[in-house]
Amino acid sequence: MKKSSLFFLASITAFTLTSCSGGEKTEEVENTDTVKVEDPKTNPVSETFFQVPSPGEMLTFIKMVGGAKNQKTDFLNPVSNNKNYTDAKSKALNFGIYSCDLSYCSIFNIGSESLKYFGTVKTLGDQIGVSTAINPAILKRLQDNVGSSDSLAVITDDVYFSSFEALEESKQGPTLALVVAGGWLESIFIAVNLAKYEANSPVIERLADQKYTLENLIEFLKKHEADANVAAVKTDFDSLLAEFNKISEKDAETAKVKDGSKSAMLNGGKQLVITEDVYKAIVAKIKTVRNSYTLTK
Amino acid sequence: MKYIVTILFTAIISFSAFSQAGVCGQFHKKYCILEKEKGTKWLYNAQSKSGLFNQGMVSKLRCVIYKGMDYRVSVCCETVLGDKVSYKIYDARTNEMLFDNSTADNTQIFEFQSISTRQLIIEVVVPQGATEKDKHKSENAACVGLLIENKVTDKQGFSQY
């Protein structure tokens, strides 16, 4: 008893000290062709946070470029699978996956399915410790707005953001990493189920661009890879990145902003060019990894 | 007795960690200006972040921005020097500096679009100055919020978007 108490205390102390540091310190490793480099004397400490766009951003884009009438749901993770997720890793990953499915049903205005997926998200959310983020008031808002895709999308985004914040504030870093990984993976799984390969298609371009998001996501997972569940997911995502790295690059064209626009134009950067063969290999890998998480074929 | 002390000590440490985490969590939503709430087309971007940082230190946030979208970055800080937070935006791959607010009247808001999808690093230097008193943090620490909003770029010409 004494030993276990000491161990628990030591763990809590170590965790607290880590938390108070404000985040893991990392160094950027991509310092090539530097134009202007920071002076380390004036900037003694750098903390880098790796951010990932929400799944809803990808789905909204798909709807915007021509999929507004889509009502397909056969590729989503069935709510009946919920009972199969009994361990912490499955629960967190599938909370992210179901949250994305909920966003999808909301964005495409599949109202009855939205309510079903909300119930599943709520059940898993209670189990991973974000019950405060998914409360009865949200369900009422959801029920009141069935039929309004814009409102549903806002509400389901709120569910995702609130869950994210609840996990972040309660210092459940590994769980948060798994939730974000599940959500992102499901968003591109849905995208590849809706898209057909066409050179220069905006949706295919956006899928290729997920290479950058995946790189950020892997860096985010790295911060929590001491956790065995996160480490396993990172290994899967590393192998997915290996497929994305087969995408070629060319210099982006330059452009000016429209007259009267308040926005500045950031020129430069690379445009990713994805061939059909590379696309198919990426799609195959996405499906393999995603279905291994949902325990489906 | 030792058992009670152990429990108390553990509870105090756990409470401190929890409180610390909650100090700045929603800072960017409360203190940065949300264009979305003004009824404009800007949408909240999930890559926004707040944090508690020691003054004088540098924080970097690496995010992904897509072509075909307009972005609006707002930086806010609770110190009395809050309107002079220094930030720079770099291309994460090349380290090329794309924007420095010190060359733009220290503006705290920057609207832009990018010709290509890319990873950006937004580097914020937390200014030194008085902060709001708070029992959960030291006086030389400050909350900093980085709000990112996005919207679809207005159509022009024969854009495929």
Task: Let me know if residue B6 belongs to a domain.
Answer: no
Tally A–B CB contacts below 8 A: 198
- Facing residue for B64 by CB, picked from A213, A255, A266: A213
Q: Is A75 left (phi over 0), alpha (psi -120 to 50) or beta?
A: alpha
pLDDT at residue B55, as a whole number: 73
Sorted by where each begins, the domain ranges of chain A are 55-254+268-294
Residue written as tokens 């956790």? A227
For residue B15, is pLDDT > 50? no
State the Cα angle at A49 between B55 and A21, rounded to 5°.
50
Cβ contacts of A50 on chain B, cutoff 8 Å = 62
pLDDT for B79:
64
Tens of pLDDT, residue by residue over B65-74, are 999 899 999 9
Question: Which residues share a beta bridge with B97?
Answer: B90
Greatest mean pLDDT among A73-87, A128-142, A241-255, B33-47 lies in A73-87
In chain A, what percentage of residues exceed pLDDT 70? 83
Q: Is the pLDDT of residue A190 over 50?
A: yes
Confidence (pLDDT) at A14: 36
**Contact A37/B at CB under 8 A:** yes
Structure tokens at B5: 């002390």
What value does the mean pLDDT take over residues B129-146? 67
What pLDDT is stored for residue B154 in this prediction? 72
User: Tokens for A228?
Assistant: 């065995």
Q: Is the pLDDT of residue A39 over 50?
A: no
Residue numbers in B near A5 (CB within 8 A): 3, 6
Give the C-alpha separation, B74 to B109, whole Å. Answer: 4
Q: How confident is the model at residue A276 (pLDDT cuts 50, 70, 90)?
A: very high
Cβ within 8 Å, pair A22-B118: no
| ipTM reported for the complex, 2 dp | 0.79
Domain with B68 in it: 24-152
Report if residue B125 sits inside a domain.
yes
Would you call A34 and B95 a contact, using CB atoms and an 8 Å cutoff? yes
Q: Do B117 and A254 touch (CB under 8 A)?
A: no
The answer to whether residue B32 scores a pLDDT higher than 50 is: yes
Task: Return the closest-CA partner of residue A23 out of A170, A172, A223, A230.
Answer: A223
Say whether pLDDT at A184 is over 80.
Answer: yes
Q: What string of H, E and C letters represents the secondary structure of chain A?
A: CHHHHHHHHHHHHHHHHHHHCCCCCCCCCCCCCCCCCCCCCCCCCEEEEECCCCHHHHHHHHHHHHHCCCCCCCCCCCHHHHHHCCCHHHHHHHHHHHHHHHHHHHHCCCHHHHHHHHHHHHHHHHHHCCHHHCCHHHHHHHHHCCCCHHHHHHHHHHHHHHHHHHHHHCCCHHHHHHHHHHHHHHHHHHHHHHCCCCCCCHHHHHHHHHHHHHHHHHHHHHCCCCCHHHHHHHHHHHHHHHHHCCCEEEECCCCCCCCCCCCEEECCCEEEECCHHHHHHHHHHHHHHHHHHHCCC
pLDDT of B81 higher than 70:
no
Mean pLDDT check: name the lowest of A60-64, A97-101, A223-227.
A60-64
More confidently predicted of A176 and A149: A176
Residue A137 is predicted with a pLDDT of 85
Backbone angles phi, psi at B49, to 5 degrees: -155, 150
Q: What are phi and psi of A183, to 5 degrees?
A: -65, -45
B5 three-class SS = helix
Cβ <8 Å between A32 and B95: yes
- CATH code where residue B70 lies: 2.60.120.380
pTM: predicted TM-score of the whole model, two decimal places: 0.81
pLDDT of residue A239: 98
Q: CB–CB of B111 and A263 under 8 A?
A: yes
* Contact assignment for A64 to B161 by CB distance below 8 Å: yes
Helices A173-194 and A149-169: crossing angle in degrees, nearest 10, is: 150
CA distances to A241, B70, B158 from A197, in Å: 19, 26, 22
Q: How far apart are CA B59 and CA A269, in angstroms?
A: 23
DSSP structural state of residue B125: E
Instruction: Note whether residue B5 is domain-resident.
Output: no
Q: What is the pLDDT of residues B91-136, one digit of tens each?
A: 999 999 999 999 998 888 999 999 999 999 999 887 666 555 555 5
Nearest to A207 by CA among A20, A62, A6, A31: A62
Residue A33 pLDDT: 36
- Residue A6: the pLDDT is 42
> Does pLDDT of A90 surpass 80?
yes
Contact B51 A57 (CB under 8 A): no
Write down the residue that tokens 């626009």 correspond to.
A261
Q: How far is CA A95 from the centre of its chain?
A: 12
A284 lies within 8 A of chain B by CB: no
Could you tell me how far CA A17 lies from the centroid of its own chain?
A: 28
Q: Which of residues 93-132 of B touch A (CB under 8 A)?
A: 93-99, 110-119, 121, 123, 125
Of these ranges, A34-43, A217-226, B48-57, B148-157, the one predicted with the greatest mean pLDDT is: A217-226
Range in A40-49, A126-135, A162-171, A241-250 with the lowest mean pLDDT:
A40-49
Residue A180 predicted with pLDDT over 50: yes
Q: Which of residues 170-189 of A touch B (CB under 8 A)?
A: 170-171
More confident residue, A224 or A262: A224
Put simply, the answer to whether A33 touches B95 (Cβ < 8 Å) is yes
Distance from CA of B116 to the nearest CA of A (A): 6
Give me the pLDDT at residue B37, please: 62
A294 in Cβ contact with A97 (< 8 Å): yes
Mean residue pLDDT of chain B comes to 75
Q: Which residues of B touch A12 (CB under 8 A)?
A: 10, 13-14
For A263: left if phi > 0, alpha if psi spans -120 to 50, otherwise beta; the answer is beta
Query: Count of domains in chain B?
Result: 1
B137 occurs within a structural domain = yes
Q: Tell me whether A35 touches chain B (CB under 8 Å).
A: yes
Shortest distance, CA A11 to any CA of chain B (angstroms): 10
Residue B16 belongs to a domain: no
